[in-house]
Amino acid sequence: MAAFGNIAKTSSNDPRFKAPAGAMRHDGIESADMDQKPIMPIGTEAASTLLQRICEDSPALVAYLDAACRYRYVSATYEKWFGRPRAELVGARLQDLDGMAYAQMRPHIEQALRGEQVRYEASIETRHGARQLTGFYIPDRDAHGKVIGFCSIAVDVTERSHAEQALRERERELQAAEERLRLREREFKTLVENSPDIILRMDGGMRHLYANPAIERLTGQPAAALLGRTKAEAGLPESVAAPWDKAAAAAFASGREQKLEFEHVIQGELRYFSGRIVPEADGAGHVESVISIAYDVTERARIARERDESLARERTARIQAETAARARDEFLNVVSHELRAPLNGIQSWAHVLENYVKDASSSPLVGRALQGIKTGVSQQVRLIEELLDVTRMMSGRLRLVKQPLTLLPVLQSTVDAMREQAAARHIELQCTYGITTEQVEGDSDRLQQVLRNLLSNALKFTREHGHVWVTATCSSDEIRITVRDDGIGVSPDFLPFLFDRFSQKDTSSTRGHNGLGLGLFMARSLVELHGGRITAESEGEARGTQFSVYLPLREPSEKYIPAIHATNIDDNAMPLPSLAGLRVLLVDDQEEARESLTIVLSSAGARVFAASTAKEVLAWLATLAPDEYPDVLVSDIAMPGEDGYTVLRRIRSWQRQDGATPLQRLPALALTAFAQREDRIRALTAGFQMHVTKPVAPEELIVVIDTLAPHDRTRR
């Protein structure tokens, strides 16, 4: 502190520190009193002490360095800031303690040692990171004016510097935001001024504070003519002003956005406008003004109107189409019913002739006639089924019951069923199966139908003593089934039309083959519904034809279970069950059907009561003793007055005089000419246990009734 003592001593003798006239000294401290007494200057020692106290208590970093940059004094703040004890600093040279700091500050130090007072700003690295300092180097001279050192006074302005930097950044951001705002304002103004929509701002008195040029299209006046005036004052018609002001008033009152709709005639054309009104509130939530936007929706309204009209027409067309489809389905159902019902009688009477008329079975002529009747019935049934299936396909309502299916048994059973037909025409049917357990996802009945149609087609168009080959192979992703014949072939010009419905090359009255030309169309449709494809090839007429069916392959099943083929069943080895003692209630409105079925079932041993209406049945039931009630109900569905569903319901709910309902669990069979899948589902849902389609083979009917009847019954 010797240097600081010198400074204090010099200062006490300096005329600049002399007390003014009239000052009074108190313990080395001068003050002025009321009498303007002289103030005595403090002594050198006191001044030195005071200066040291100021340096020690100052928040500034104070140090004194000699001409060799050796520390002679550091303040407590300096010591703390640099994190070094005073004993380590005093006597040490700056360049030895911190060479980097010395190198950084050396130009300023040299400037001070040349006698110049230096003001600097510097960033100093410390253990706490970079700090920003602002300071002074004040040279110290001896009595001869020689610089013997300098006093360093610095203030840490890091926080202030950061704050100033943040402030500058904030100012730059504000300037950028203001520029963006100005740009947005220009863009908004350009947008609003050039918008085809009408944009207005109104105060609580419905006077206009702003109007864009689009208002001129509505009013015929410039936007300026509307400012400060209401719509009525500006001459707008009531049809425009009233709905607009009403919506604006609602926005002022509720503080919520409002919808706006109005009409206005412009140049003789009625135009439709729609829009919204948005309230503008102050900080307290008070609505000061509203902004309204209205736009011409005439074209949109026209499009919407046309769309609604189009939708209405489409709905009408769909309803008409659905009505037509229902009418067609109902017609086909009726046709199917009317065709099947007499076929059932024909088939039943043929069975009676064959089995129960004396000497009928021994006459070759009668036997040939009966076989012709059976064949004709079978062909008619297939024809009806084909027509119904084609109708479903054309309307997109044919449904498949798909499941994992091992294809080989399906193929084998179909081929075996066709062998008798092939043998009758002396056609050799050869099969080569290159598949075993491979599976497809398919409907077994429909795939059999495809294969049956292809085989029937091949047998039909192959001459006697010809050949038909069936092969099945498997690739990595599909199964291929090929049906090839050496028959009449197909001409190249007809080949592209082979799969069209009702397509037949020879349609003359002298054609040699029967059919409607539906088999191949159905085959292609069913294969495509299975995700596959079908192709036809022929080298020309008299060169044979080859059909190939490709079906997507599934993973093979874990276990192969072979199917029971039709040829494995010996009809002669399976005698029909006896219906002896079984009481059968038969309900059918057609006398022919009742009579023939009664004979068939009675011949099998059943006791049959036949009725045409539910009324007859209920009257008959009332005459029976409890041990005489029927065991099985066989009922037609389509009957006048009350259908089969009503008959079943009334029989099962029939009560004896004691209130009991003994027939509520009576097994029931629906024997009907309604043959669609929906008909079967409806019958089962209505309570019938089985659904059998007319015409039914008498043998099948007997087996079904025996299966349906209680097995613990007592035969009487």
Residue with tokens 């004709």, as numbered in its chain: 376
Tell me which of 277, 296, 315 is where a domain ends: 296
- What's the helix, strand, coil split of the chain in %, to 5? 45, 25, 30
Please enumerate in sequence order all residues whose Cβ is within 8 A of that of 313, keeping only pairs 6 or more positions apart, or say none.
none
Burial bucket for residue 112 (CB in 10 Å: 0-12, 13-18, 19+) = buried
- Does 545 lie in the same domain as 562? yes
Indicate whether 87 belongs to any domain: yes
Domain count, the chain: 4
* Domain harbouring 276, CATH code: 3.30.450.20
- Does 593 lie in the same domain as 509? no
- Does 204 lie in the same domain as 155? no
* Domain harbouring 501, CATH code: 3.30.565.10
Residue with tokens 């409002």, as numbered in its chain: 258
Any alpha helices (H) in 541-584, and if so which ranges?
A: none
- Does 675 lie in the same domain as 593? yes
pLDDT of 504: 52
Do 584 and 708 meet the contact criterion of CB atoms below 8 Å apart?
no
- Does 200 lie in the same domain as 154? no
Do 113 and 36 meet the contact criterion of CB atoms below 8 Å apart?
no
- Does 587 lie in the same domain as 466? no
pLDDT of 714: 52
- Does 52 lie in the same domain as 9? yes
632-635 vs 668-672, strand pairing mode: parallel
Indicate whether 44 belongs to any domain: yes
Indicate whether 123 belongs to any domain: yes
Please enumerate in sequence order all residues whose Cβ is within 8 A of that of 213, keeping only pairs 6 or more positions apart, or say none.
193, 194, 222, 223
- How many beta carbons lie within 10 A of that of residue 540, not counting itself? 11
Question: Rounded to whole angstroms, how far apart are CA atoms 151 and 133?
Answer: 15
Strand order in the sheet with 258-266: 208-211, 198-203, 287-296, 269-281, 258-266
Burial bucket for residue 347 (CB in 10 Å: 0-12, 13-18, 19+) = buried
Indicate whether 585 belongs to any domain: yes
- Minimal CA–CA distance to 445: which of 414, 484, 483? 414
Tell me which of 569, 600, 631 is where a domain ends: 569
Indicate whether 702 belongs to any domain: yes
Give the domain extent around 409. Answer: 400-569
Classify the phi-psi angles of 137: left when phi > 0, otherwise alpha if psi is within -120 to 50, otherwise beta. beta
Cα atoms found within 13 Å of the Cα of residue 379, Cβ hemisphere only: 10
- Does 16 lie in the same domain as 152? yes
- Does 604 lie in the same domain as 492? no
- Does 591 lie in the same domain as 489? no
Question: Rounded to whole angstroms, how far apart are CA atoms 5 and 45?
Answer: 7
Which parts of the chain sit beneath pLDDT 70? 1-42, 325, 328-329, 332-341, 344-345, 347, 354-368, 370-372, 374, 379, 386, 389-390, 392, 395-397, 501-517, 555-574, 711-716
* Domain harbouring 621, CATH code: 3.40.50.2300
Please enumerate in sequence order all residues whose Cβ is within 8 A of that of 36, keeping only pairs 6 or more positions apart, or say none.
21, 22
Torsion of CA 87, 88, 92, 94, to 10 degrees: -130
Indicate whether 80 belongs to any domain: yes
- Does 464 lie in the same domain as 428? yes
- Does 234 lie in the same domain as 121? no
Question: Rounded to whole angstroms, how far apart are CA atoms 649 and 668?
Answer: 11
Do 73 and 63 meet the contact criterion of CB atoms below 8 Å apart?
yes
Positive or negative, the CA dihedral 697, 698, 701, 703 is negative
Cα 582 to the center of its chain, rounded Å: 58
Indicate whether 352 belongs to any domain: no
Tell me which of 268, 296, 324 is where a domain ends: 296
pLDDT of 546: 94
Indicate whether 71 belongs to any domain: yes
Please enumerate in sequence order all residues whose Cβ is within 8 A of that of 595, keeping only pairs 6 or more positions apart, or say none.
610
Helix (H) or strand (E) holding 351: helix 298-356
- Is omega for the bond preceding 695 within 30 degrees of 0, making it cis? yes
Classify the phi-psi angles of 220: left when phi > 0, otherwise alpha if psi is within -120 to 50, otherwise beta. left
Global pTM exceeds 0.75: no
For 498, list phi and psi in degrees, rounded to 5.
Answer: -65, -35
